[in-house]
C-alpha cells in the first residue's frame, strides 16, 4: 500500500456542505435544494453527486478532458433510494437513452433502440434461469392479443426445413485496447471458463475514507472482456477553471435529460405490463420470475429522478440549472489515507462476485480476474432481431462451462401459427448453438427456448 493524498476535488455548491465557505442567497427558496457536489479532478470518472432532502442520492459518471477536467461524456448514473443499501445503476448511450438497468435485486433490463418508437427489452433474472426478450412498439397501446399462444394464423411454413448446428466457441484475440496509462488507471481482463466476459458491470471501491463511503466508480467496458477506470491524479494537478467545467456538465446532463424523456412514464408502465403478461405465459410456474415483476416498476421509474432535480422550482421561478454554476464557492480536499481496492462484479444472469482486496499502485494497475465456473447461456439472440413477415431467422446462443461428462442442451421454437420444432445435443466444451427457423406471416409470434438440463433456461419472443 502507498500513502498518498487523493486530492479528490469536490466543489461545494450549496450551503449545507460542512467545512466550506458559504455564499449568501438573496432570496429564500420555497423548497430546500439538494446538496450538490461537483468533482473536477481530470481523471476522476465521478462527475456529480446529488443528495436530496428526501434522502435520495444520485451519482453521475463519465469521461473528462485530461487537461481541463471538463466532462466529455456522460455514461452512467446510480440511484440510491432512502432506506436502501444497494443502488439502481443505469447505463446510457450517447443520446442519454437508457441501455441497461441493473436493479437492486440483481435483475438486469437491457434496452435496444430499434427506432425512435420501437425497442426490444430483455429481462434477465438474478440467477439467469429466465431471460425474456420482447419487442415493444411505443406508439401502440396495450392490446389483449399482444400475448397470444393460440393458433390464429395459417401455418405457411409447415413444410419448410430448419437447420441446426453446434460449433466449438473460442475467444477472439485480446487486443489490449487503451490499457497503456501512466497518469493513473485500473484495468481488468475478465474471464470465465477460459472465455472473455463481455457484459459485466464492475464497481470499484477504495478503502478507507472514500468520499462515497467506498462506492468509487463504474468501470468502462472497453469490449473484448476488458474494463477500465481512470483514477484521480495524485500529484501535479493542473489548475482548473470551474465555470467552464460546470457549464459543460450541465449541458451534457440536459442533453441526456432529453434522452431519458424518450421513455415516458406511460411507456415504462406499458413495458412492465407486457413483461409481466409475457412471463405469465412463458414462465407460469417459475419462482424466480417474481423477481423480475417485483422490481420492474421501481427499476424503470428510478430514471424519473434523473432530471427532476435540475428543473425543480426552488422559489421565485428559479431552478437549479439557472444558478447552479454561479454558486460555486470553495474546494474541499480529501484527507491523506492508505488505500486498497476491491471490485464488485455483476454479470447478467449469474451471482454477483467480489474480488479480494488488491493493492493500488500509482500509475497503471492491471489484473486478470477469473469468475467462478457456472453453467451459463449467453448472447442468446435472433438474426435479424425482428424479422419481417416471411423472413427466416437464426436463433443462436453461447453455452459456457458445460460439464466435462456432457451437458444436454435443447433449443426449440413454438409459433402461434402451430409451427413447432426442436433439436437436442450434448456438449462437453464451450459451444455455439444455432437454429435456422423459416419465416411466417405477419402477426405470428414465435417463442424460442433454449434449455440446459439441470441448468438455466432462456426465452426470446419475436413477432413477424
Q: Is residue 439 part of a domain?
A: yes
Picking from 128-142, 203-217, 384-398, 410-424, which range would have the lowest pLDDT averaged per residue? 203-217
Judge if 242 and 232 occupy the same domain: no
Helix (H) or strand (E) holding 245: helix 242-260
Q: In the chain, how many domains are there?
A: 3
CATH code, 164: 2.60.40
Judge if 382 and 439 occupy the same domain: yes
Judge if 190 and 308 occupy the same domain: no
Residues 6+ apart with CB under 8 A from 215: 59, 78, 87, 203, 205
Report the 10 Å Cβ neighbour count for 242: 16
Q: Is residue 176 part of a domain?
A: no
Q: Is residue 132 part of a domain?
A: no
Q: pLDDT tens for residues 170-226?
A: 554 443 344 344 456 788 888 888 788 877 878 777 665 444 444 456 777 887 788
Q: pLDDT tens for residues 85-139?
A: 788 888 888 888 888 888 888 888 888 888 877 888 888 888 776 777 788 877 7
Judge if 195 and 82 occupy the same domain: no
Give the three cell numbers for residue 32. Answer: 430546500
| Mean predicted confidence (pLDDT) in 71-87 | 84
Q: Is residue 133 part of a domain?
A: no
pLDDT of residue 229: 77
Residues 303/108/126/349 CA torsion (nearest 10 deg): -160
Q: Is residue 144 part of a domain?
A: yes
Judge if 247 and 230 occupy the same domain: no
The boundaries of the domain holding residue 423 are 138-171+374-463
Q: Does the pLDDT value for residue 410 go beyond 90? A: yes
3-state secondary structure of 265: helix
Q: Is residue 177 part of a domain?
A: no
Q: Does the pLDDT value for residue 332 go beyond 50? A: no
Q: Does the pLDDT value for residue 271 go beyond 70? A: yes
pLDDT of residue 43: 66
Judge if 7 and 111 occupy the same domain: yes
Instruction: State the number of CA atoms in the 13 A half-sphere of 327 facing the CB.
Output: 21
Q: Does the pLDDT value for residue 333 go beyond 60? A: no
Judge if 13 and 119 occupy the same domain: yes
Q: Does the pLDDT value for residue 151 go beyond 50? A: no
Q: Is residue 452 part of a domain?
A: yes
Q: Is residue 180 part of a domain?
A: no
Judge if 341 and 219 occupy the same domain: yes
Tell me the pTM: 0.65
Judge if 230 and 349 occupy the same domain: yes
Q: What is the Cα Rg of the chain in Å?
A: 24
Contact at 8 Å (CB) between 452 and 399? yes
- Distance in angstroms (rounded) separating the CA atoms of residues 345 and 197: 11
Judge if 222 and 344 occupy the same domain: yes
pLDDT of residue 311: 59
The confidence band for 259, taking pLDDT boundaries of 50, 70 and 90, is confident
- Distance in angstroms (rounded) separating the CA atoms of residues 265 and 255: 19
The confidence band for 429, taking pLDDT boundaries of 50, 70 and 90, is confident
Judge if 297 and 391 occupy the same domain: no
Better pLDDT: 132 or 315: 132
Q: Does the pLDDT value for residue 402 go beyond 70? A: yes
Amino acid at each position: 500500500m502507498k500513502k498518498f493524498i487523493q486530492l479528490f476535488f469536490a466543489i461545494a455548491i450549496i450551503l449545507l456542505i460542512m467545512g466550506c465557505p458559504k455564499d449568501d442567497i438573496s432570496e429564500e427558496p420555497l423548497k430546500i435544494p439538494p446538496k450538490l457536489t461537483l468533482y473536477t479532478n481530470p481523471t476522476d470518472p465521478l462527475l456529480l453527486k446529488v443528495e436530496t432532502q428526501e434522502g435520495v442520492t444520485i451519482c453521475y459518471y463519465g469521461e473528462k478532458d485530461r487537461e481541463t477536467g471538463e466532462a466529455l461524456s456522460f455514461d452512467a448514473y446510480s440511484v440510491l433510494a432512502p432506506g436502501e443499501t444497494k443502488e439502481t445503476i443505469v447505463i446510457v448511450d450517447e443520446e442519454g437513452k437508457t441501455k441497461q438497468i441493473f436493479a437492486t435485486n440483481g435483475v438486469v433490463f437491457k434496452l435496444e433502440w430499434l427506432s425512435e418508437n420501437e425497442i426490444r427489452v430483455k429481462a434477465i433474472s438474478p440467477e439467469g434461469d429466465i431471460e425474456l426478450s420482447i419487442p415493444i412498439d411505443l406508439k401502440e397501446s396495450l392490446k389483449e392479443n399482444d400475448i397470444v399462444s393460440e393458433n390464429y394464423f395459417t401455418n405457411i411454413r409447415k413444410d419448410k426445413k430448419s437447420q441446426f448446428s453446434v460449433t466449438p466457441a473460442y475467444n477472439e484475440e485480446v487486443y489490449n485496447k487503451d490499457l497503456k496509462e501512466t497518469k493513473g488507471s485500473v484495468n481488468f481482463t475478465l474471464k470465465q471458463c477460459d472465455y472473455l466476459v463481455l457484459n459485466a458491470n464492475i464497481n470499484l471501491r477504495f478503502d478507507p475514507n472514500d468520499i462515497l463511503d467506498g462506492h468509487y466508480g463504474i468501470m468502462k467496458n472497453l469490449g473484448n472482456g476488458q474494463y477500465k477506470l481512470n483514477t484521480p491524479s495524485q500529484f501535479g494537478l493542473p489548475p482548473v477553471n470551474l465555470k467552464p467545467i460546470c457549464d459543460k456538465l450541465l449541458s451534457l446532463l440536459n442533453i441526456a435529460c432529453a434522452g431519458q424523456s424518450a421513455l415516458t412514464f406511460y411507456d415504462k408502465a406499458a413495458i412492465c405490463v407486457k413483461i409481466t403478461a409475457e412471463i405469465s405465459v412463458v414462465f407460469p410456474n417459475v419462482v424466480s420470475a417474481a423477481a423480475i415483476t417485483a422490481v420492474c416498476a421501481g427499476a424503470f421509474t428510478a430514471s424519473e429522478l434523473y432530471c427532476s432535480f435540475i428543473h425543480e422550482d426552488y422559489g421565485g421561478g428559479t431552478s437549479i440549472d439557472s444558478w447552479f454554476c454561479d454558486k460555486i464557492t470553495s474546494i474541499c480536499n480529501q484527507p491523506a489515507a492508505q488505500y486498497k481496492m476491491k471490485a464488485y462484479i455483476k454479470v447478467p444472469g449469474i451471482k454477483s462476485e467480489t474480488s479480494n482486496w488488491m493493492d493500488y499502485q500509482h500509475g497503471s494497475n492491471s489484473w486478470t480476474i477469473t469468475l467462478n465456473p457456472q453453467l451459463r447461456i449467453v448472447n442468446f439472440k435472433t438474426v435479424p432481431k425482428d424479422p419481417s413477415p416471411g423472413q427466416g431467422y437464426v436463433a443462436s446462443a453461447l453455452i459456457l462451462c458445460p460439464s466435462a461428462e456432457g451437458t444436454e442442451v435443447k433449443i426449440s421454437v413454438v409459433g402461434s401459427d402451430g409451427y413447432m420444432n426442436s433439436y437436442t445435443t450434448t456438449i462437453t466444451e464451450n459451444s455455439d448453438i444455432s437454429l435456422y427457423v423459416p419465416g411466417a406471416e405477419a402477426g405470428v409470434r414465435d417463442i424460442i427456448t433454449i434449455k440446459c438440463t439441470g441448468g438455466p433456461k432462456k426465452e426470446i419472443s419475436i413477432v413477424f
